[in-house]
A = this chain, B = another copy of it.
Amino acid sequence: MPKKARQQQLIKIIEENPFVTDQELTRKLKVSIQTIRLDRMELGIPELRERMKQMAERSYDQVRSLPLHEVIGEIVDLQLDKSGISIFEIRDEHVFSRTGIARGHHVFAQANSLAVAVINDEIALTFSADIRFIRSVHLGEKCIAKAYVRPSSGNKAKAKVEVFTYVGEEMVFQGNFVIYRSTGDDNHEGGNIHADRH
């Protein structure tokens, strides 16, 4: 096997299993460990421990910067029980890779997170929602969601929140949320209660 081909093989093997040692590579490629190491040098592939360290660091950074998993979008303004604003930038991981159009649930998640956040209560759960995707959102666009709490008539445990999401001047999403809150009487959690539609 020629050198080039072997090095391509080596790249492939390490790519699909970064946890492989040089020793194991000698078995797979049938060359000496020195050759493996020269190849790694030439290709700029760090040793196993360095590879693991880099993966660990990358994942650690992500964990640190992504309690975005908890609340989607960055809340920049919040007046409890009144209104709130959040910003969410559409990135690679949010779009259909083929079209660059954001998957609906991410846009929804931003609105939902904001609707829940704006309710000033210990427990606030989405009870129902009526939503419209007015136009599709694309990779790189910044979604600005604005939520307004509507004065609730009657049932105090259900708060109505309207959310409008904009990209620039353009409205791209609109949703009417009914948020269930834990005012006093805890642990209802929906059950068989039915919301009146608007």
- A residues with a Cβ closer than 8 A to B are 18-19, 49, 51-53, 55-60, 62, 69-70, 72, 93, 96-97, 99, 101, 103-105, 108-109, 112-113, 116, 123, 125-136, 189-192, 194-195
Q: How far is the CB of A168 from chain B (nearest CB, A)?
A: 16
Q: How far is the CB of A174 from chain B (nearest CB, A)?
A: 9
Residues of B within 8 A of A134 (CB): 190, 192
Residues of B within 8 A of A49 (CB): 49, 52
**With contacts A59-B59, A129-B131, A135-B190 known, is A113 near B123, CB below 8 A?**
no
Judging by beta carbons under 8 Å apart, are B104 and A105 in contact?
no
Judging by beta carbons under 8 Å apart, are B109 and A105 in contact?
yes
Q: Which of B55, B72, B104, B113 contacts A125 (CB 8 A)?
A: B104
Q: Which residue, of A52, A104, A113, has the highest number of chain B Cβ atoms within 10 A?
A: A104
Residues of B within 8 A of A112 (CB): 103-105, 108
Judging by beta carbons under 8 Å apart, are A133 and B123 in contact?
no
Residues of B within 8 A of A190 (CB): 133-136
Judging by beta carbons under 8 Å apart, are B125 and A132 in contact?
no
Q: Which of B101, B113, B125 contacts A189 (CB 8 A)?
A: B101
A96–B53 alpha-carbon span in the complex (Å)? 31
Residues of B within 8 A of A52 (CB): 49, 52-53, 56
Residues of B within 8 A of A133 (CB): 125-128, 190
Residues of B within 8 A of A19 (CB): 53, 56-57, 60
A127–B58 alpha-carbon span in the complex (Å)? 34
A135–B187 alpha-carbon span in the complex (Å)? 11
A123–B96 alpha-carbon span in the complex (Å)? 9
Q: Which of B56, B62, B103, B132 contacts A56 (CB 8 A)?
A: B56
